[in-house]
Structure 1
Amino acid sequence: MKIRYAKECEIKDIKEIWNYCFDDGEKFVEYYFKNKYRKQNTVVVDEGEEIVSSLQLNQYKLRLNNKIYDTSYVVGVSTFPQVRGRGYMKSIMKFTLKELYKKNQLVSILMPIDYRLYRKYGYENCYDQLEYIIDIEDLRRFKIDGRMYKANEFNIENLVEISKKFLEDTNGNVERDEKYYLNLIKEIKSEDGHIYIHENNGYQGYIIYFLNGENMFVREIYYKNIDSLKSMLKFIYNHNTQCNKVTISAPINDKIRFILDNPKTCDIKIKPFMMGRIVNLKGYLETLEIDSKSELYTNVLVQDEFINENNGVFKISLKNNKLKVQKCEEKHDVQFNINTITQLAFSYIDINEALLLNDTTISKDALELFKIIFNKKNNYINEYI
């Protein structure tokens, strides 16, 4: 068994594994391997010159805690059935994490098919979404102010502008520029989806949706103001002869539930969506800008089984609004595994929740430092590949 990056000639083999393991349509697979696949970002297991397992590291810029990080999104983790159970997944994940560290990537993200598979590699849930399931008829009373248009390449700048406004109160997003939306339009088309934009004295919102029999799935509904949201909810209602229900995915801080006539008839769930991982603890913490005149330090024992550089006791010192992090041989004040550190670093939980979840305590000075460094925020990301 050899783990390495893919070669140019192996795209057919990697596509074969993808098709075997994932139930994606032919048009989407064609789109993906034409627009997203890169051999230099694909890790494979070579067993006797046969590719039997692979994963891909799609590259994004992640805006996390007011900083932008080059980030690998781990997708397409797949193995042929004849070699499952041989530990190939563990080997390929271990190789990948070491490679990400060597490339000086500080964080990584992953959408799991099963959280249990990836927690042991240090990934942990860092993003949730709200899911609404609404009877179409419950949207009858809204009205459209302005007009709805099918979006295309000429609306790219408008889509970018709407997303920036909509996402300004959330954390952990992927940077969405013109290139991003050009690619997204192709992706949605490959899945037989639709993008419509709302215009009312300027472009105010957009909606991405799919018609699946009697159910409409709304992947995104982004808006600058409540009038735009109401207009797009009415647009959803206009499909009442085609669909009975609509499922809407939205950020945790979304406003739809506040304007429904009777939210009790709507099924609203919080759904885990994306996992994250700190790849380089020292590197990440030292990028943070801390708004505090305090001078504090604490020693933290971090457990990371797959990236040795993250494993051990770290002295975290705050001075002049910056953190300094270095390994030490001193006694630790508190102990966390990389999963908990990741959730703190992604601002998914705060220190009080971390202490509760780990059934542990901390000194007063250490608690103050952690409260200064880690602030819980509304995390939101909506990338599928």
Structure 2
Amino acid sequence: MTEMRFLRQEEKDSLAQLFNNAYRVGLETARKWADRAGEPRTLVVPEPGRLASCINMLPFEMVFGGQSVAMGGIGGVATWADCQGKGYAGALMHRSVEIMHEQGYLVSALYPFSFRYYRKFGWESCGDRITYEGFRQSDLRRGEDSRLVRASRGAEDATLFVAAYDRQAAERYNGLMVRSHESWAARLNTLAEAGGHAYLIEEDDQPTGYFLCDHPQDSGGHIGLRIRDFATNTPRAMRAMTMFLATLPANVETITLQTAAHPTIFEAFLEPTVRKLLAPGFQFRVLDVCGAVAARGYNSAARQGFTVHITDEHGPWNTGAYEFDFGGGRGEAKRLPEGVATDFSWSIQQFSQVFTGYRDMVQQHAAGLFDAPSAATAAVVRDAFCDRPTHLMDFF
């Protein structure tokens, strides 16, 4: 059996060595990562003279249905190259599910190096992204709404960024992280120190959006502009952002914009033929079925319920039969006696996709991919969970 325990304070240099071996980032960066690690976040596999493998469990909150849900983020999974294949990372992944459940986290998310690897432990793809790649200012529509954009004044504007971001998290998407005023101030300062720029969109002196830009250079020294973090809470705010991008100076040679797969923004372009990359963004799993269903918000029109059997190999406390009920914008999952017949069965991976709103079960049923007793039952599932598209902009 693999020995696992929490990181000890005196082992941070050993952890930095592990990070550097796994990620090849250099010891300076690896030591910064190690400085942020520690109990009860960092679980390690010790070997004589070193740490062979590790995993970090990070405390966050995600928003689903307009309500915050406690989320354990998985990051910094690392194993020495000569320890690959010994099962260390797999043992840590299995144990992390138990620990996060014990610590009160209801859901978990991660950015995978391999989707099929983390799928084995219950995480599943729950959010797609479109990256509009390498377009030019001349590809975008121009207009007077670009005048709604102004450069940020830095941390003093943090309250306005919070307002624009929180509105998007509450009303438009499932899966966005809760960001505090302090984290926004730090984010704006870090962006500025790295040479990036932040912009606010204001209508009638109220913040209706923002976008954060960094400026990567390719191997030939060509300067680009990249946006991976933005909010546009009105149609005019979206036009303001894209029309402002159309006015950028000629020394910005290419523009890249990353956003959720839905809704698309083809109307911002003169021709919808710019290069687009559609790819899954992150993986997600429910850690506590009853707790997550109770914490999430729902559309007030969601009514009725259904019964389902859920199987979770790495979280056996979740395995069993449930009755789901919805009403008044709230939901409940009640355990049923074993052996009770249910409307259908899900793996924890399938339920996690449903929980986020990523899977429209009416479409799945129509395509023969969801074994519900009727289209009406599939519609009950859709009406409860498929309330917003999924999106995650924070990297961890």
Q: Normalising TM by the smaller chain, what interval?
A: 0.7 to 0.9
Instruction: Report the equivalent of 1:115.
Output: 115
Q: TM-score, normalised by structure 1?
A: 0.86
- Secondary structure of the residue aligned to 2:350 is helix
**CA-CA distance at 1:249 after TM superposition:** 0.8
Distance 1:268 1:249, change over 3 A: same
1:377 aligned onto 2:377: no
Distance 1:285 1:45, change over 3 A: same
1:210 aligned onto 2:214: yes
Give the paired residue count.
381
**CA-CA distance at 1:58 after TM superposition:** 1.7
Conservation of the 8 A alpha-carbon contact between 1:25 and 1:191: no
Q: Hey, what's the Cα distance between the residues in 1 that align with 2:165 and 2:236?
A: 16
In structure 2, which of residues 314, 322, 325 is the aligned counterpart of residue 315 of structure 1?
Answer: 322
Q: Hey, what's the Cα distance between the residues in 1 that align with 2:263 and 2:30?
A: 32
**CA-CA distance at 1:324 after TM superposition:** 4.1
- Secondary structure of the residue aligned to 1:82 is helix
**CA-CA distance at 1:180 after TM superposition:** 2.1
Q: Hey, what's the Cα distance between the residues in 2 that align with 1:360 and 1:170?
A: 24
Conservation of the 8 A alpha-carbon contact between 2:242 and 2:268: no
- Secondary structure of the residue aligned to 2:89 is helix
Q: Hey, what's the Cα distance between the residues in 2 that align with 1:135 and 1:319?
A: 47
Deviations 1:229-259 (CA, angstroms, capped at 9, x unpaired): 4444455445543332211012334564223
- Secondary structure of the residue aligned to 2:147 is coil
Instruction: Report the equivalent of 2:230.
Output: 221
Q: Hey, what's the Cα distance between the residues in 1 that align with 2:148 and 2:34?
A: 39
Distance 1:137 1:318, change over 3 A: closer
Root-mean-square deviation over aligned CA pairs: 3.1
Instruction: Report the equivalent of 1:261.
Output: 270
In structure 2, which of residues 278, 282, 289 is the aligned counterpart of residue 274 of structure 1?
Answer: 282
**CA-CA distance at 1:360 after TM superposition:** 5.0
Q: TM-score, normalised by structure 2?
A: 0.84
Instruction: Report the equivalent of 1:41.
Output: 41
Q: Hey, what's the Cα distance between the residues in 1 that align with 2:27 and 2:196?
A: 15
- Secondary structure of the residue aligned to 2:4 is strand
In structure 2, which of residues 322, 336, 344 is the aligned counterpart of residue 334 of structure 1?
Answer: 344
Q: Hey, what's the Cα distance between the residues in 2 that align with 1:94 and 1:127?
A: 23
Conservation of the 8 A alpha-carbon contact between 1:31 and 1:187: no
**CA-CA distance at 1:376 after TM superposition:** 4.7
- Secondary structure of the residue aligned to 2:165 is helix
Instruction: Report the equivalent of 1:83.
Output: 83
Q: Hey, what's the Cα distance between the residues in 1 that align with 2:261 and 2:327?
A: 34
Q: Hey, what's the Cα distance between the residues in 2 that align with 1:285 and 1:176?
A: 22
Identity, in percent, stands at 17
Distance 1:58 1:257, change over 3 A: same
Q: Hey, what's the Cα distance between the residues in 2 that align with 1:251 and 1:113?
A: 20
1:105 aligned onto 2:102: no
Q: Hey, what's the Cα distance between the residues in 1 that align with 2:292 and 2:105?
A: 9
Distance 1:74 1:161, change over 3 A: same
Q: Hey, what's the Cα distance between the residues in 2 that align with 1:80 and 1:292?
A: 51
Q: Hey, what's the Cα distance between the residues in 2 that align with 1:223 and 1:359?
A: 34
Conservation of the 8 A alpha-carbon contact between 1:159 and 1:206: yes
- Secondary structure of the residue aligned to 2:70 is strand
Deviations 1:186-225 (CA, angstroms, capped at 9, x unpaired): 5435655332335675355432122222332212233344
- Secondary structure of the residue aligned to 2:211 is strand
**CA-CA distance at 1:157 after TM superposition:** 0.6
Q: What 5-or-longer segments of structure 2 have no aligned partner? A: none
Q: Hey, what's the Cα distance between the residues in 1 that align with 2:32 and 2:247?
A: 30
Instruction: Report the equivalent of 2:372.
Output: 362
Q: Hey, what's the Cα distance between the residues in 1 that align with 2:382 and 2:201?
A: 41
Distance 1:24 1:358, change over 3 A: farther
Q: Hey, what's the Cα distance between the residues in 2 that align with 1:318 and 1:53?
A: 42
In structure 2, which of residues 170, 174, 185 is the aligned counterpart of residue 171 of structure 1?
Answer: 174
In structure 2, which of residues 251, 254, 259 is the aligned counterpart of residue 245 of structure 1?
Answer: 254
Distance 1:318 1:39, change over 3 A: closer
Q: Hey, what's the Cα distance between the residues in 1 that align with 2:261 and 2:159?
A: 26
**CA-CA distance at 1:126 after TM superposition:** 1.0
Conservation of the 8 A alpha-carbon contact between 1:157 and 1:178: yes
Distance 1:225 1:332, change over 3 A: closer
Distance 1:29 1:163, change over 3 A: farther
1:303 aligned onto 2:311: yes
Distance 1:108 1:222, change over 3 A: same
Distance 1:337 1:152, change over 3 A: same
